[in-house]
Structure 1
């Protein structure tokens, strides 16, 4: 008989007493209750009374599907819902038409589900959610069903995570070029190797964070369009095969970059063309796991007066390191 507004995982409107937030994440332990051939389903009818709900977290529950006890869409009543977290479940793309009714959503997390299954037959994808600002679709095996997502209609998006989806081939249909308000984009752990121009990154002039770790990129990278992204502050290109395609990156134009990771990119030889000397706002630089042994002077590290963190682990450096520059004179450098 206690007041439900005092319960854990429940938050109410102080004036009306109606529930505005439910945190129902991680309510059971997968290993204790379920096996992959016997997963629970979500009863959508449970949410019919919560018409003022603004935030709903159902992550880490391993739901495989859903059902309802009434003849209408259980999510349709949640007209005020702004934040929905369904990550770490087993939902597939047949859930998307239900989500399209949630037109007030600003944040949607579908990470670590199975959205790649049935995506090709999805009619709208997420195209109806025009108010979305944050969308997470990481590790969903989306691969080549890109146009079915309807991303090109989400012009208010500011943060997008598509990491770990096995994306490859021409990516024009993904529609990134239309998302000109994007500030953060994660494309790491895909297979974006030879289709760089089709990404349309050169249009994303407001981008501040870009993660393209582990994509197998190699050869000339001019078509990636990094030189146009002059507002970038965080850039991760680690574990690609950039090696001697340094000038084609266009890094010298990114004068606002503060955090740069080029670890494991097989760089060697003269690195003047990399353009690090121009990045005077850099605070953190990772050059580990490369082949920078005898070309230290060409890095231009002596220009980076604001550098606070420098990682050059596993580069085969030996002998006199005078040509590395007077980095000890840098008053900000705290991690080396």
Structure 2
């Protein structure tokens, strides 16, 4: 019996090393060596589960998340065969790592659910991007934000998105924010029917062109971020009303006027609405048919130069829990009669400046 226990402990020692699996630790060390040892906390004979950028499955002790963000060095080539050892790997963050190309493996990383390829300026053509996503059929979340795609390369990006939509059938979260694109990119997103979150901040949208067509097919989207675009008095709320499941909408810094959101009440499932830093300053005392969605729980109207008239529009928001009216032009004695029905309100911010 003693020999059995001794064999067990020897096996544990072979497989694990200081809290993490030995083979996985050695693979990370090898990867760091090829990257010029730029990840200084990855030190031999220490628990790799405690390394910066590494998280482990608390049940199995295997690595579940790897972040290479802190890597600073020359452009590099990723070979996915290096990651086959990580059986529990679900999250791979390669953002801001100067990644230039990838080589897939036949088996693929079947358990990988989240990959961040954002802010990698060397991923500048369809072939390289697709090479880094080939074989990742289990992906649920993908970020391609901040890769400096622009109007000259938008056609390439359209091809990429169209091909990915036919392969990433389980994708629920997509971020293409902060690329210099236009509304012409939107039709290429129509194949991502399983999306629940779509992030497109700062991509150069300047009208409602193609938005209704996109919203008509993305029926499962619950979170939409189209902040820091320029809708410039466009009636953006009407096409967005096609998103029947939408719960959270971010329109911050997008040149929104009252005309832009006149039909916002059509978003009947909306719970969180961010309209900070827009052009809502000419709010009339009379609502003229305008109403907020009755389902709203959180409303941000910060920094819009709003006057006291905005208070009259808030009547009837019985589910509203937080209201941000900071950095506006509310003056004098405030008539809060219109707010008397805000029976669920817990947080009210009237501050003129943010601390």
Q: Classify the TM-score, shorter chain.
A: 0.7 to 0.9
Query: Aligned in 2, Cα 1:122/1:327: closer, same or farther, shift over 3 Å?
Result: same
Query: Aligned in 2, Cα 1:123/1:322: closer, same or farther, shift over 3 Å?
Result: closer
Q: Is contact 2:24-2:85 (8 Å) kept?
A: no
Residue of structure 2 equivalent to 1:191: 204
Alpha-carbon distance in 2 for matches of 1:123, 1:112 = 12
1:155-194 mapped onto 2 (5 Å cutoff): 155-172=169-186, 175-194=188-207
Alpha-carbon distance in 1 for matches of 2:129, 2:97 = 22
Deviations 1:267-313 (A, max 9, x none): 1233555531xx233221111222431533552x1211222221112
Residue of structure 2 equivalent to 1:275: 291
Q: Is contact 2:301-2:326 (8 Å) kept?
A: yes
Residue of structure 1 equivalent to 2:108: 102
Deviations 1:15-49 (A, max 9, x none): xx8649988898239xxxxxxxxxxxxxxxxxxxx
Residue of structure 1 equivalent to 2:96: 88
Alpha-carbon distance in 1 for matches of 2:26, 2:250 = 35
Alpha-carbon distance in 2 for matches of 1:179, 1:234 = 19
Alpha-carbon distance in 2 for matches of 1:283, 1:223 = 18
SS of 1:303's equivalent in the other structure is coil
Alpha-carbon distance in 2 for matches of 1:283, 1:23 = 45
Alpha-carbon distance in 1 for matches of 2:80, 2:248 = 41
Residue of structure 1 equivalent to 2:320: 307
Alpha-carbon distance in 2 for matches of 1:333, 1:123 = 46
Q: Is contact 1:86-1:109 (8 Å) kept?
A: yes
Alpha-carbon distance in 2 for matches of 1:67, 1:205 = 37
TM-score (structure 1 length as normaliser)? 0.73
TM-score (structure 2 length as normaliser)? 0.70
Deviations 1:45-75 (A, max 9, x none): xxxxxxx97654333213433369xxx9744
Query: Aligned in 2, Cα 1:274/1:262: closer, same or farther, shift over 3 Å?
Result: farther
Alpha-carbon distance in 2 for matches of 1:297, 1:18 = 62
Cα RMSD, aligned residues only:
3.7
Query: Aligned in 2, Cα 1:285/1:77: closer, same or farther, shift over 3 Å?
Result: closer
Q: How many matched pairs?
A: 297
Give how far 1:244 is off: 3.7
Deviations 1:117-152 (A, max 9, x none): 2x1454845364332101122211123231242332
Alpha-carbon distance in 2 for matches of 1:226, 1:240 = 15
2:71 is the counterpart of 1:61: yes
Alpha-carbon distance in 1 for matches of 2:217, 2:73 = 38
Give how far 1:237 is off: 0.3
Query: Aligned in 2, Cα 1:225/1:169: closer, same or farther, shift over 3 Å?
Result: closer
Give how far 1:242 is off: 1.8
1:168-247 mapped onto 2 (5 Å cutoff): 168-172=182-186, 175-194=188-207, 196-197=209-210, 200-222=214-236, 225-247=239-261
2:142 is the counterpart of 1:135: yes
Query: Aligned in 2, Cα 1:257/1:312: closer, same or farther, shift over 3 Å?
Result: same
Q: Is contact 1:137-1:161 (8 Å) kept?
A: yes
Alpha-carbon distance in 2 for matches of 1:208, 1:298 = 29
- Any unmatched runs of 5+ in structure 2? 1-9, 33-37, 42-61, 350-355
Residue of structure 2 equivalent to 1:147: 158
Alpha-carbon distance in 1 for matches of 2:106, 2:283 = 52
